[in-house]
């Protein structure tokens, strides 16, 4: 059985990736793990200058640490994603997960801060935006490769939906009339930036695990 360690402690990512790498991916039986499942607790500094650099920093940090925690040969999957809003010059971008100076800021705090900045930016709605995701994968042999995905949409001023995390509740998909947080999981896994990146990574995973 192939095992993939997701270089994140975000349970929301685990749920999404489990669905994306299910039977339809034709990868055979997989076991997906979070660091906490192995008792790992790494603090990776994400100081890269691009999504790819940050994703690789996470993936390689866990790749180097895995031998101390597991005897299994693991594929490591790290990702970095961000929301880029046109009216804010592409912000928050790389800093999406740290877009509030408030200590211990929650997703709700970051959404509120984004909307506060948009309200004062002088640009009328609609506020076009897109999510971007870069996935970095490290094979058991230490080979590093990437896959990318994007999802276009716009920011709305009122939160809607409860099926997502991060900025999902204020990210509207105009083609569907729904926010990312209003989509059912199967719909989100056809549209989201992370879904597109993971799907782009499936041929690579097939080569590595023989699926």
> Are 149 and 193 in contact, with CB atoms under 8 Å apart?
yes
Residues ≥6 apart with Cβ < 8 Å to 173: 151, 153, 179, 180, 183, 191
Catalytic status, residue 26:
no
Catalytic residue among 43, 80, 107, 168: 80
Report in angstroms the alpha-carbon separations of 6 from 2, 39, 84, 145, 195: 13, 13, 24, 15, 15
Cβ atoms within 10 A of the Cβ of 185, count? Answer: 13
> Are 194 and 13 in contact, with CB atoms under 8 Å apart?
yes
> Are 126 and 154 in contact, with CB atoms under 8 Å apart?
yes
| Dist. CA 170–CA 179, nearest whole Å | 6
3-state secondary structure of 89: coil
| Dist. CA 87–CA 80, nearest whole Å | 22
Q: Which residues are designated catalytic?
A: 80
């Amino acid at each position: 059985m192939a095992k993939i360690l997701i270089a994140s402690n975000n349970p929301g990512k685990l749920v999404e990736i489990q669905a994306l790498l299910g039977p339809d991916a034709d990868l055979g039986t997989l076991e997906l793990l979070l660091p906490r499942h192995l008792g790992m607790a790494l603090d990776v500094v994400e100081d890269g200058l691009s999504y790819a650099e940050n994703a690789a920093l996470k993936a390689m940090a866990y790749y180097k640490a895995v031998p101390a925690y597991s005897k299994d040969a693991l594929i490591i999957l790290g990702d970095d994603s961000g929301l880029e809003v046109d009216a804010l010059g592409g912000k928050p971008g790389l800093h999406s997960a740290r877009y509030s100076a408030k200590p211990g800021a929650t997703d709700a705090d970051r959404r509120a801060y984004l909307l506060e900045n948009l309200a004062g930016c002088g640009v009328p709605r609609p506020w076009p935006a897109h999510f971007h995701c870069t996935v970095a994968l490290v094979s058991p042999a230490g080979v590093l490769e990437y896959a990318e995905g994007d999802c276009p949409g716009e920011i709305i001023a009122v939160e809607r939906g409860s099926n997502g995390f991060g900025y999902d509740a204020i990210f509207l998909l105009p083609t569907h009339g729904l926010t990312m947080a209003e989509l059912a999981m199967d719909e989100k896994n056809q549209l989201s930036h992370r879904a597109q990146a993971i799907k782009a990574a499936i041929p690579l995973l097939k080569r590595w695990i023989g699926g």
